């Protein structure tokens, strides 16, 4: 018997079984009783699906309420963390600007000192003239 009742055979025979069952239902059960029975079955299935959906929605609502409460605390912590990072960035930026200014000042001082030394050498070479060079 198990050879004939396999899943493949059932899949192939299902359309024929559905047509025959529908015909037999309407043939042997009068319409005045059959249609209300089908309507009650359909409404029962629909109500059952809505109940299952509402239960899953209640769980979802509970989860969202918990997430909202937790997210408020997380938002406050994130805001404080962001403020601290912003303050740190400002201090680092001020430090960089101060170091740049110091480097610029040091470079200007070295350049001025080098210019003064160069001026002395240039004036000395000009005053010396061509006397020091023998190749002319």
Contact present, 130 and 136 (Cβ < 8 Å): yes
Q: For 5, which DSSP code?
A: S
Q: What per-residue confidence (pLDDT) applies to 67? A: 75
Question: pLDDT tens digit string along 55-72?
Answer: 776 666 667 777 777 777
Q: Could you tell me the pTM of the whole model?
A: 0.35
Q: For 29, which DSSP code?
A: S
């Amino acid at each position: 018997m198990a050879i004939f009742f396999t899943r493949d055979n059932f899949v192939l025979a299902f359309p024929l079984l559905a047509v025959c069952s529908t015909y037999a239902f309407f043939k042997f059960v009068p319409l005045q009783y059959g249609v209300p029975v089908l309507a009650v079955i359909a409404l029962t299935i629909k109500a059952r699906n809505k109940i299952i959906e509402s239960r899953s929605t209640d769980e979802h609502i509970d989860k969202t309420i918990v997430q909202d409460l937790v997210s408020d605390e997380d938002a406050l912590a994130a805001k404080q963390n962001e403020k601290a990072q912003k303050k740190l960035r400002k201090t680092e930026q001020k430090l960089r600007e101060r170091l740049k200014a110091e480097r610029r000042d040091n470079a200007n001082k070295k350049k001025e000192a080098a210019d003064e030394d160069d001026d002395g050498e240039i004036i000395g070479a000009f005053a010396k003239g061509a006397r020091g060079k023998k190749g002319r």
